[in-house]
Amino acid sequence: MESPANKLRSLLEDEKILLVPGCYDALSAKLIERAEFKAAFMSGFAVSGSLLALPDTGLISYAELVAQGQNICSAVSIPVCGDGDTGFGNAINVQRTVKGYARAGFASVMIEDQEHPKRCGHTRGKQVVSREEAFMRIQAAVDTRNTEDDILIIARTDARATHGLEEALVRCQRFAEIGADIIFLEAPETVEEMEIFCRETRGYPMANMLEGGRTPILSPEILQKIGYKLAAYPLVLMNASIQALQAALQQLNQGNMPDNCISFEEVRSVVGFEEYHQKEQQYKEIPK
């Protein structure tokens, strides 16, 4: 059976940009697969928000993220990219994070250069570590990939907001030289900055399409033309689910059954009742 990492490698070799919606639990990942997307991204922001109802400010732990990731990866056959935050400590912690994510079933893990506690890259107050520590994290991740577990490394820098574009590009270029597979410059603020990043960085460039964030929202066609190989949409599903839940609760609070609900039959289909019954029947028919 082809590994999740190799599935993702094959998709990245395709000429067409890879669109990667963000998931936060097994159900949202399954819906992504049912909608015929070829990959998913477990967003740390979305998991923190959905699992703990807390902001993405370093409050969620490694154990909580990797456990949620295992549930997500077990629910789908498409490759899933995982948010590994800062790697949760020094080089040894980074290596443990990469190993844990690989064994949970992830195709890739993202390691970033923020200080702990980290926070969403499009919010205020974030800080980045020194170049040396940033490079150490990515080196530790790449070494683990090369010697122990097959998983792609997404190297992310948040230095654009704290030190400017030039410093962010230096970090991206070095991440690629170290051997990271996917390079992620977080929160470029103009189309020109996005073009410079794709032009001056090796590896597979990753875009983050966050509605209301600092980066311009561009169509997949334009992102591909600029040079991006994959585009993540980390909060689309969580935003849509919050809106739907609030509308349903408002109607229920008024004494009405919500009118934005799918049928019970469709709910049963989504969570897999039909497949369960088929397997159940298969084992009932085993000769005695």
- Report pLDDT digits (tens) over 186-207: 999 999 999 999 999 999 999 9
pLDDT at 151 over 70: yes
User: Which CATH number is 4-235 given?
Assistant: 3.20.20.60
pLDDT tens profile 242-252: 999 999 999 99
Residues of the chain with CATH 3.20.20.60: 4-235
Name the region of 187 (left: φ>0; alpha: ψ -120 to 50; beta: rest): left
Residues 183, 172 contacting (CB under 8 angstroms): yes
List the Cα angle 166/162/151 in 5-degree steps.
Answer: 75
Contact 123, 99 (CB under 8 A): no
Token pair, residue 130, equals 């020194």
pLDDT of 123 over the 70 cut: no
Nearest to 85 by CA among 25, 139, 158: 158
- Residue 120 clears pLDDT 80, i.e. is over it: no
- Predicted TM-score (pTM) of the model is 0.93
Radius of gyration, CA atoms only, the chain: 20
